[in-house]
Structure 1
């Protein structure tokens, strides 16, 4: 093969033979950027082809499609550019493109230049420190920071400088955890910036990479080898919420409606903003496996206007999250309608608690919110105690008849029709039934639950179609298949045997769940028992069928419980859901999805089956580096094939591109502490169930030690010796306190006082909440209300203005103060014992602190500014995050009920509590371990 250096290359380019790939690698000497294709001379340097001579055969061929003149110029450049291109289009920055709306790749370069300009200016006396600004001496090695260490650090910095560290724009700043307390505001910062190489993206759209709320990675600069990843010791994985809800102001996901779907022939990747167009725009090169693919014939055709379209305006080339309307080849059967089967427990405890009355009223009030735009939604109601009660609802009447099946050993459907009815056609009889269902069982004194047989009956009813079973259960299943025994034993709480209580007690639920998954049936569980209900076993059903578990311990409809349940149940009913879904995550060469966490069933090695995907459910996937990565960037693409609840088959595609690096400092500088904490939460829960709770806690602590040890060894001048500091990169500063929050969370915490149902429910939340809800769940929010600034609680440009969050320490509690503490599931209003009467009057409409009662409540809205501001903050707290959750509000008096006080104070995770360390003690333990000592 002739040496390209002997031929005419553009100025500033050279070629180097790559023996591994047996081909030349072209290098831009100024920037170090590499590419496999030979760069093309710009038009000014190329010999001008005579206009009368025919174009070269390798540029024009029989398959070339005709484009409009402007488009032709956009793809090929000017005529003179075609003269010696050898089949490769000129780099976009060298093309003459008056009619193209953008120059692909220029956005990334502009972004890099802007970032360089925004770098902090050095203050007098400061030095560059590992790619950033050197902190003050006490932040590095205490006040006795000596000349010898400075010399060591200078040598190390020089070594890093020789490795061109930070050349892509990522800067590493070191912080000392011993002297920098956690700042809650840092959790609201965006993840570290993704700095892609120039020209990696063909779109200037800032949305070309998926928003982190859909898909984020634990590291935003991928190590080129597994050995480098091991050196950093940072967990490598993806956190996904592919079907997150849209809040006001969120951009809707663009939909490609023309059913023209371009996919790689080899790896089946969907076309996206990171592919390359080659062969004059007739082919595209896959960004995952580099295979050259044909551009579909209708890709450049606007089917709405029936005229040539603008390729560069297509959503799939401009957005990291898009949805395709799927053609018929993506359907194994016609799109299914939305089907809801309600299983309602009508045993004595369910009636007495008011659950049945609240549930039927909520369904009745939300019938119009059930997704039914196409008029095909079907509904059925089955009640159960120790027998099953079916309801026949003939269309066009207000009558319904009840059919009782008392043989729960061999479940059968008592009638072939009118049990599962069309919502629109049988609306009148459904409304009449819901209105009187509670009264029908008002005198029911039967104790017991045939939940298993009820589930079997619901499955028989809907298995030909698929859909969602919504279970409302108020007692432990005791009759028929899936019957459970009370295994709650206070003596084993807090011991090594406790993890047994977090495993399923009966194989029925997992076996039945897998059967449901095959039949495209999903299960949501709403659990209400005041006694033990075995949440760990019942949560198996939502876990393997992509549903969700909701728990209302000791539910009483005469309290605030009814309001919370009605709100959450109503939101679940109104949610659009993805039906008969399958999800697959693809990644660039040498990356492999190694394990999956979340609510789904893994059907094959990497295909996740989800019969019905609720909104705002999160999944975590661990990734492995199998071999050295040679590409300048890698791409992750999640594809979810599903049927919308409006009867349309669609594919949601979420694409994230991340740069690669051989530089350890960039790996640390790009680490996303929120994504890491989310992945660690999922891994910790899985370890709780397969091993012991203690093993899970140890694994969390040890992983934190590993990350800090790796940072110390590689990134600090102290290196291997003992040190007076505990160094970590600025962007990982909150990771230790997030791990501490996980260690103190109800799902994992060391305690002999936590009922197994509460622990199992907390674990279900830890593995399903999206990051936006999970962060406050493990690191709650703490506001001071009595002395907040006047604008807090008023409406600003971004909605209600919230007070600045405080560190989670009781040192901040003043005896005359009013505080709000919340974790996304519960809100506490802490009232100090010396609160002035005027404060009590303004907020609670009571004369003084003594008459104030603690407990679950609704805050009155009074005719004074302070009451209105506090109410606005509570309301904003309830509404600002995605998901159906509506937190209870508890008033906690400083000298009030001890159990309630301890519950509220347990949210202040930086304090010492019981056998669990304070944040300072935890940091000291970490420091001793990192420096090789014992604690």
Structure 2
């Protein structure tokens, strides 16, 4: 039976190509899947050694790295692993010079954990001039009495207790026993109070009132405190959101029993304390002392002068006060079941959390259902947003409408407090305003529009579990130092930039990354490495002050060919996405989309001019390192923050803030979702080999309807949604093996929140694939089942097929034609794309 692709699924209208088409064979266009699968074959069976000179595996590969002095690529990736020696060469290549840092990234279980080093009361050795930390790339002089900083070349005296003699190779005799001298990523314990978090600057007008203000001295490290703040307004009760939150919170704190009768353990970190705050048009504090028969409620109704009504009993050990806490959380939904209060004072609740955690730092976890219309930061319902698209007012959708949200965010960040928000609203909530608080403090947004407990509670539970179990630091200050000739020109991510060099984050967890754009301040020496060091000063969950350092040594080159050969497309794409999201508050979306196309074309033009000038002008030349750059650039323009047509401002803001903090791996998987044909799985795919016990995962397929058949079942996953697409002509046996029904009409998408566990080979294979992906990201995405031409959510599925003509943008083939046209015009007319608007030929 010949292959019959399905017609294009329902979609938001695309953009046709205008003008004469270039001669590009559709069957020969570069596929990102080929690169991904080839890289997996190369690196999943061997260890990546981190010494300079080798291209690292792609971020999408499950590789194992051995730290030899350069940090694991999971912690640091640069846009090229051979740095151009001058600003001129950087401009010639047009590859943005950037580094993406994920200091607390989860490592593969087969990799060595990050070593913890205790250098005693004096702390780690630091350069007396640039204050850089000792690392494997420093050298030793004067018989080991001084060490030369690799960042600034200054020589610093070695303290008596840190001294060691040198061997004939000028290496310390204790080199092998000192992780900080041979590992690129290290945690230093710092006991001195000079490393404690400084107090915020005094304010003319206090935000809150307390009889016991925190002392104006550096904050002594304490274990992480969590404040759970719950919206108990009428909408939260009626939607079932409050009941779900209470149920999930109890499971996280104390464990419970699953639907199948199995029990699960609590996952809340030992030693941490919790407080409970509820709010509607007033604030409700609770005394949770273990010696009380039940929690005592204290109500603060004055939202103009918020004060903290108690200190003792506010934060408690959840195990010592288990009876009190369980009774309170278990009764909140019933206690508020008859409420008629629709208002919610989210801003007031945040200020109350700030007052309770001031002086010690911590994490505020908010559960919110409605737009805050009362108290600090009160918002008016927004006007129709459709009329601002395409105008200069478009950027106002991405900035807070009330200044108070900026102030709350900055004060929380100054106090070492992170804020995360779970949003379960049924109508607009203005993420453009309230979302500034999580994004400034290093927290996270969790988005559940039109919350349905039957569908969304399982996702909510996994998100909250991930939030409390992942590696988390708080009261953080981060700085990236460069060696002579380099400088950091701009940072991208979710943080507060208090100074040109230091970033402040209330919390910083293993899922978050920060990137920095680098620039040349002078020509670099090709005979020397260039160095980068990221240092994060933080407090661990158990209350220990530490510094995590990540180091890179990079070769310097003067030839464009070497720059392109060692380019890292994943880091480039991540940087372009972050740069685009940052621009939303200052530029129109159409301009951002045009610039993305220009930057993609400029990189390919840089390669053409410097490395393939002899090729025919009519030929589209794409370097091996950037084979998939056009499709990933197109995918950025099709992402929800930037796509055309009707997308609500809340959705745009949520995804923009999410992309700004994503790791490189998550960014790549979000932009180009993983598509898998489940009906064509090999017999042994995703099943353990009887002799070796090894699993192998099936190959992915390209994101286009041109490769899909109507009798198939497909799984697409972008880390936010996991969608099963069921073809109209699917075999009843496949339906029975996977879903437990033999008729497509009997398949009810609204009822299916989890894939049923069946005693069939196909079910076991798919369950393993899902389990593998859950373990990779640590949480469960939202699951949807859509049937061909039967379910409205098929639009969500079709929009994830980024190679098709959809999302108000071109198909991949048409986009390649556009890029080819731009490059051809630049070669014919001379000049660069960035300086000559007439060469753009943009369709937008």
**TM-score (norm. length: structure 1):** 0.76
Of 360, 363, 388, the match for 1:465: 360
* Residue-by-residue CA offset, 1:83-128 (whole Å, 9 max, x unaligned): xxxxxxxxxxxxxxxxxxxxxxxxxxxxxxxxxxxxxxxxxxxxxx
Change (3 A) 1:205 1:516: closer
Q: Higher relative CO (CA 8 A, sep ≥ 6), structure 1 or 2?
A: 2
CA distance in 2, matches of 1:587, 1:271: 14
- What is the match of residue 160 of structure 2? 297
Change (3 A) 1:632 1:378: same
Deviation at 1:921, TM superposition (A): 0.1
Deviation at 1:887, TM superposition (A): 0.8
CA distance in 2, matches of 1:344, 1:463: 20
SS at match of 1:449: coil
- Computing the radius of gyration over CA atoms, which structure comes out larger, 1 or 2? 1
- What is the match of residue 268 of structure 1? 131
Give runs of aligned pairs for residues 625-704 of structure 1, distance below 5 A: 625-630=520-525, 632-704=528-600
Deviation at 1:282, TM superposition (A): 3.1
CA distance in 2, matches of 1:637, 1:371: 33
SS at match of 2:622: strand
CA distance in 2, matches of 1:214, 1:543: 21
Structure 1 unaligned regions, length at least 5: 1-141, 144-174, 199-203, 303-307
Structure 1, 270-279 or 902-911: larger mean CA deviation:
270-279
Give runs of aligned pairs for residues 47-446 of structure 1, distance below 5 A: 179-187=28-36, 189=39, 196=52, 206-259=67-120, 261-299=124-162, 310-328=174-192, 329-331=194-196, 332-367=218-253, 372-373=269-270, 375=271, 377-446=272-341
SS at match of 2:576: helix
- What is the match of residue 894 of structure 1? 788
CA distance in 1, matches of 2:162, 2:591: 54
CA distance in 2, matches of 1:372, 1:780: 33
CA distance in 2, matches of 1:702, 1:865: 48
Of 464, 472, 483, the match for 1:577: 472
Give runs of aligned pairs for residues 793-812 of structure 1, distance below 5 A: 793-795=686-688, 800-812=695-707
Contact in 2 for aligned 1:205/1:318 (Cα 8 Å): no
Contact in 1 for aligned 2:361/2:417 (Cα 8 Å): yes
CA distance in 1, matches of 2:404, 2:517: 29
CA distance in 1, matches of 2:780, 2:695: 18
CA distance in 1, matches of 2:386, 2:148: 63
Deviation at 1:280, TM superposition (A): 3.0
- What is the match of residue 540 of structure 1? 436
* Residue-by-residue CA offset, 1:128-179 (whole Å, 9 max, x unaligned): xxxxxxxxxxxxxx99xxxxxxxxxxxxxxxxxxxxxxxxxxxxxxx99993
Deviation at 1:416, TM superposition (A): 4.3
- What is the match of residue 849 of structure 1? 744
Is 1:749 the equivalent of 2:610? no
CA distance in 2, matches of 1:864, 1:266: 66
Contact in 2 for aligned 1:349/1:474 (Cα 8 Å): yes
Change (3 A) 1:205 1:848: closer
Structure 1, 396-405 or 670-679: larger mean CA deviation:
396-405
Contact in 2 for aligned 1:488/1:532 (Cα 8 Å): no
CA distance in 2, matches of 1:775, 1:515: 33
- What is the match of residue 529 of structure 1? 425
**TM-score (norm. length: structure 2):** 0.84
Structure 1, 415-424 or 332-341: larger mean CA deviation:
415-424
Change (3 A) 1:414 1:371: same
Deviation at 1:571, TM superposition (A): 1.8
Of 798, 814, 827, the match for 1:921: 814
Change (3 A) 1:710 1:685: same
Change (3 A) 1:723 1:506: same
Deviation at 1:914, TM superposition (A): 5.4
Deviation at 1:761, TM superposition (A): 0.8
CA distance in 1, matches of 2:176, 2:469: 36
Change (3 A) 1:692 1:272: same
CA distance in 1, matches of 2:619, 2:347: 57
Of 591, 609, 614, the match for 1:713: 609
Change (3 A) 1:371 1:864: closer
Give runs of aligned pairs for residues 782-821 of structure 1, distance below 5 A: 782-795=675-688, 800-821=695-716
Contact in 1 for aligned 2:705/2:801 (Cα 8 Å): yes
SS at match of 1:760: helix
Is 1:507 the equivalent of 2:400? no
Two-structure CA RMSD over aligned residues (Å): 2.5
Is 1:489 the equivalent of 2:384? yes
Contact in 1 for aligned 2:105/2:511 (Cα 8 Å): yes
* Residue-by-residue CA offset, 1:205-245 (whole Å, 9 max, x unaligned): 75321111101111111111101100101111110110112
* Residue-by-residue CA offset, 1:586-637 (whole Å, 9 max, x unaligned): 0110111111111111121111111221222011111111111125211100
SS at match of 1:794: coil
SS at match of 1:207: coil
Q: How many correspondences in the alignment?
A: 744
SS at match of 1:227: helix
Is 1:620 the equivalent of 2:515? yes
SS at match of 2:386: helix
Change (3 A) 1:311 1:452: same
CA distance in 1, matches of 2:49, 2:656: 31
Contact in 2 for aligned 1:385/1:448 (Cα 8 Å): yes
* Residue-by-residue CA offset, 1:749-772 (whole Å, 9 max, x unaligned): 122x21111111111111111112
- What is the match of residue 930 of structure 1? 823
CA distance in 2, matches of 1:799, 1:413: 57
Deviation at 1:824, TM superposition (A): 0.9
Deviation at 1:294, TM superposition (A): 2.5
CA distance in 1, matches of 2:798, 2:621: 29
SS at match of 1:727: coil
Change (3 A) 1:847 1:642: same
Deviation at 1:429, TM superposition (A): 1.4
- What is the match of residue 261 of structure 2? none
Contact in 2 for aligned 1:177/1:728 (Cα 8 Å): no
SS at match of 2:90: helix
SS at match of 1:795: coil
Of 577, 593, 618, the match for 1:724: 618
Change (3 A) 1:320 1:816: same
CA distance in 2, matches of 1:488, 1:809: 37
Change (3 A) 1:337 1:524: same
CA distance in 2, matches of 1:422, 1:836: 55
